[in-house]
Each structure stands twice: as structure tokens, then as C-alpha cells.
Amino acid sequence: QPALYQYGAEVVSSRLREKFQFRESLEWIQSIQVDESGGKADQLANIYLEWRKQDAEAAQTWKAAAHPDEATRTRFDRSEQFQFLKR
């Protein structure tokens, strides 16, 4: 049941994010194999950006090692550019 797994992974990820456990939160979203909602890249980018606000060095180290797919890399880049323009 991919949809059920996705829902559970999103719930666990959200709880971890609330506790500022960003690496673990990202790992749960990355574990989603079938993206029923199409929002996996957005979720990863949002968690990553929140982490960057808390600990930029750790977040960037994770990003460099994570090897995200093309859609996720594009979303990260767009989000980072948007954050830069907001300053």
C-alpha cells in the first residue's frame, strides 16, 4: 500500500521536524518510493530550508551528500533563490 506508507512517512517526518530533527525528517520523506501526491520534492525543499535557517552548515552538508534527483535539486535551487531575494 504505497499511499498508506506515504501518509505514515509524512506524519513521522512532520513530528520529527517539529522536534528539529531535520536529518531524520528528510530521511523519512526520501523513503517514499511512490509519490502519490507529487509533493515529495516540495516537502524535501521545505524541510531543507527550515533546517538551513537553524543550522546552515549541517543542512548544506546533508544536501551535498544526499544526491537528490533532478526535480528535487531544481526545487532546492528555486527555494534558495527565493529565500535570497526575500532578504
**pLDDT digit string (tens) for 32-54?**
987 766 788 889 989 999 999 99
Per-residue pLDDT at 10 exceeds 80: yes
In whole angstroms, give the CA distance from residue 76 to residue 63: 9
In whole angstroms, give the CA distance from residue 44 to residue 46: 6
Per-residue pLDDT at 83 exceeds 70: no
Per-residue pLDDT at 69 exceeds 90: no
Average pLDDT over residues 61-69: 87
At 85 the pLDDT is 60
In whole angstroms, give the CA distance from residue 50 to residue 25: 11
Q: Which amino acid is at 28?
A: W
